[in-house]
Structure 1
Amino acid sequence: MTATFEDLWPADLLDEMGWSPAERRELADLWGRMGALPLTASRVVLSIRLSVLTEETTSPIRQELDLVRMAAERESRVVGIARDLGVSATKVPPWKRPQLGEWVTNRAPEFDEILFWKLDRFVRRISDLHLMIEWCKEYSKTLAAKNDPIDLSTEFGQFMVTIIAGMARIEAANTGVRIENLWAFARTAEKRWVIGKPVYGYKSVDQGDGTKALVVDPEKARVLRWVYSMAVRGISLYRACRLLTRAGILPPNKGKWSSGNLKVILINPALMGYRVYRPKGLRQGQPSLISHNTDGEPIRLAEGIFTKEEFDTLQEILVARANKEVRQQNNRTPFLGIMKCGICGNNWYDTQKTWERASGEVVKTTRLRCASFVGGGACGIKAFSNPQEIYDLLKDTVLEEIGNYQVVHRKYTHGDDSLAQKLRLEEQISHYMAELEPGGSYRDGGFIETKAKETLSSLGRQFAAIDPESVEDHWTYESQGVTYREHWEKHGLRKMEEDLTRSGITFVIFEDHADLNVPEDVQRRLVVRKDFFSQKKV
């Protein structure tokens, strides 16, 4: 369906973005010019991107209006606009952006070109640019920029694009170097808080001279002191998290209290008031390192919540507990994200553990628990002691519901050269029909009228012979002659999990029963879509 002016530029959106009356009039005028273009005109998608919404020199309105002008000058028709504001081109490639990604991965048959304001508004990584060029070649698309000399139809144009992207990459790298230098300065600055978020238990405050200092947050420090007292009494972090949740104490980062996140806080030497840092290569779960000044002395920024002796004691307790609890290797919860709790809606987790008691006896426990329960909450559903029964029930229910569906693959099919012929035939048919009307030049009741009718019939047959789907690029859907039951028997559990996740199917578990929720459009969701970018290496 062809997009209308209101589809692309709703009045409320123009109001929200702050389009002026003059800009709106020009936009409407440009749209009117596009309406007069032939059906064969190139269809374009405008890519608007900003990392920071306050960049005045490349504001969204300026980018958008410039690109509409560019489309009109190229005699192209705008069919879509991808407005990805607040998105980093360094961190997020075009195919993963919220709006442009949808056009690239799912709506490719609907456009011919992507227009963008400047190359660094589109990409900053050379590898991302190369992948987009490859994608354009395979899908017969073009990239073009308003303020950079880009023409993907020539090898030289592609070379120029690579050079420009290299400059953008250098600029992004320089930004990274500046940030890294700021962190390096922060690690050595005495008595000042320069950058970063303080560890739980502390907060930064303005000192009145433009600098910040680190101070103890009394309420959060009291929480950590309580956790410490529980730990030395032999109470587990899991139990402490449950008690904190019940007490209504807010966790860090507006998340949930969990033993894993609490442990990350407790192993941080910043709790002694020291400045810390995390060098590259430090694995998750390993404590940060203490920063030292030029004399080799630890840099202390604030009063410690724990003394060194208390902190060391706490680490010994945590290490001892970690040594007792040895998780099974490759312990992975099947159907994670598919199994949902019927009360709180959280995921279910397989909590297989092997415990070694003081006597040397090894005890193995296997439970399927709701994430709310694992994280210290209590949704009311007890754990299941035999997870395999739940997994088997899920598999059997899924096979009964959709096991006989055919595995369908989506394929991109290029249109042929019949569009020009179709337009020519439409024009000729319209001409003959008009001239055969009363008063027309072919309406003489004799030889000319007879031949004109014969010609019109011939043109009609030629027009009817053209397959409408063959005219333009489109998706085709092909069955592989294999059912999902057969597909999963061959490829195993992992493939079944992948397909169920893609389809949006959930298995909602209650204490005494479970429901399989299948979306109405599950067959559309199950269609296997080729991921061009995941298969490419640069």
Structure 2
Amino acid sequence: MRRVVFAERISDDKNERSDSIESQHDKLTRRAEAEGVTVVGTAVDLSVSGDVDPFQRKALGPWLAEESLSKWDELWVSTQDRLSRDDIHFLRFVFWAIEHNKTVMVLDDPGFNEQMHSRTGRLLLHAKGLGPAMELDRIKARTKDSHERRRFTTRWTGGIPPFGYRPVQRYVEGKTATYLEQDPEMVRVLREMRRQVLDDQSFFAVAKYLNEKGTHTARDRARIRKGKPVHRRGAAEGVPEQWSETTVKSLLSDPALLGHKKHRGEVLYDSQGQPVQVAEPVFTEDEWQSLQTAIEARTKTTVRRVNGTSPMYGVVWCGECGSKSAHKSSITKGTDYRYYVCGAWPKENRCRGVSVRAEEVEDWIEIYFLQRYGPERVTEKVWIPGTDNTKELDTTRKRISRLRHLYVEGEFDDSPKEYQDRMHALRTREAELASEPVVDGCWHEKDTGQTFQELWGTLDLEGKRKQLIKSGYRVEVGRKTFRVSPEPESPEERQAKFDTLTPEEVDRAKAFHTARASNPFG
């Protein structure tokens, strides 16, 4: 009984003129029925390039492993290049098949297996292997040239689109081409991520939120679009990738969210020194700047953020030494006792270790805080963007230096005008950036239109904690002491603080709040 394994492969490369998987399988099946062999398996490798080693292919590789060799006698393919388009991989497979006494059937080359077993035949096989290898080189060259031509255009050259975008086919100038457009669902996710970061959530908390919601990563979304299962590295198929602190921070810091095109991790710039724009930005420039400021502040903080542990984490502080209090709990005779204790004690000797019942502190916050601060207006910090072109100016100067280096190396010997035009555009942009003043962005307190008394009843414990932190309040607890700081400002003090602003800061604040009022969801 002849036991046969079918090997079927097709590449993602649109330039590869190859049979479809269905066509390959049909040819192999009809031949198997004619010869009366037993088909014990079919190795189908979809979207696998011809230069991938057969032993490394996901479907075929396991059949070539030592533990599977006793299950089959013959390997059938429709054409030789279904085995491999790489001549080295191809010859390695041929010698492997000879060593393990395996028959190889190539439908369009009936003498293939006989040629494997003679020196002259192997020489012919080597020559045959060079044809697909040379064609593969031509395919790669055409693909590279195509990518080079499209690199500085608004077209999408392929790969995994940035999170927030999806590829779409458009008919432009008589041809179908791929472009990027915003994915509304992913944009909503990004805006929620931005809101959480500005609301002082940690990257870990944002990642946890995304994982609990079952939000797919950009890679998993790309797999789903191709009809493939989601896959986490090191796990079984169907197990989605997980978000982490690193992926959250990396995503929210990626200029691709502004619609900028990138190559090898760097933003591409056109001949005028401007980023190549391939899609509409997810965030406005102001939203982007405030997000980056919040990310930078969180990155530089020395405070370790703990999520879901202390009901008043970041609000309650030790009144003895000023350290942040920790939340402790213990169960005695079935009763759960909770305390706020000095976070520095006993690791440091500067404090005697203040310990206060958590319920008392939370009740005092409810009573004392509202009695003292209830009439106070609730404010929120809003970012007033500044202008700082230092980074772009530095990038422009580096591009001028690289362009000059290319000129010296002779890259523009045949096109001196192109060099002059590009250098002129970069020099002009450099002058524009250098002439613009650097104005630092700043946070500004904005009145929300509510008092704490009006807001308090609508919040749960976590909401109250976040609001206290957002408004800059802290509760200092000591032995028989309870103090909220800072003290509420009188109208006169608020006016005095406003009077310290420069005219430019006042104008910027007014302009910002006017724009904010016209677009409250911005």
TM-score by length of 2: 0.43
TM-score by length of 1: 0.42
